[in-house]
Amino acid sequence: MVTVIQPADPTQFFDDMIGACKPIKRVYRRIDRVAQLEVPVLVTGESGTGKELVAQSIHRRSNRSSGPFLAVNTGAISRDLIASELFGHERGAFTGAEDRKKGFFERAAGGTLFLDEITTMDSKTQISLLRVLEAKELRRVGGRELIRTDVRVIAATNQDLQKSIQNGTFREDLYHRLNVFNIKLPPLRKRKDDIPVLVSHFAKVYADKFGKKVLEIDPEAMTLLTTYSWPGNVRELENVIANSMVMVQTGTLMSVHLPSDFRNPSVSRGKMTLEMGLTLEEVERRYITETMKSLNGNKTLAADSLGISRKTLYNKLNKTGES
Which residues share a beta bridge with 114?
Answer: 71, 154
Interaction between residue 45 and ligand ATP (CB under 6 A) = yes
Interaction between residue 234 and ligand ATP (CB under 6 A) = yes
Q: Closest separation between CB of residue 228 and ligand ATP, Å? A: 16
Mapped onto helix, strand or coil, the DSSP state of residue 175 is helix
Number of residues that bind ligand ATP (CB under 6 A): 15
47 binds, among Mg ion, ligand ATP, none (CB under 5 to 8 A by kind): ligand ATP
Interaction between residue 111 and ligand ATP (CB under 6 A) = no
Q: Which part of the chain contacts ligand ATP (CB under 6 A), choosing from 17-25, 28-36, 171-179, 288-296?
A: 17-25
H/E stretch holding 174: helix 172-178
Contact flags string 42-71 toward Mg ion, x per CB under 5 A: ----------x-------------------
* Residue in 119, 124, 87, 114 with CA at minimum distance from that of residue 103: 87
50 binds, among ligand ATP, Mg ion, none (CB under 5 to 8 A by kind): ligand ATP
- In this structure, the strands spanning 13-14 and 17-18 are antiparallel
Footprint (CB under 6 A) of ligand ATP, residues 235-254: 235, 238
- Number of CB atoms found within 10 A of residue 288's CB: 20
Of residues 44 and 294, the one with the C-beta less far from ligand ATP? 44
Residues contacting 287, CB < 8 A, separation 6+: 272, 306
User: Exposure pattern of 203-220 as b/e (b: 16+ CB <10 Å)?
Assistant: bbbbbeeeebebbbbbeb
Of residues 52 and 150, the one with the C-beta less far from Mg ion? 52
Among the listed residues 31, 53, 58, 225, the single contact to ligand ATP using CB under 6 A: 53
Mapped onto helix, strand or coil, the DSSP state of residue 6 is coil
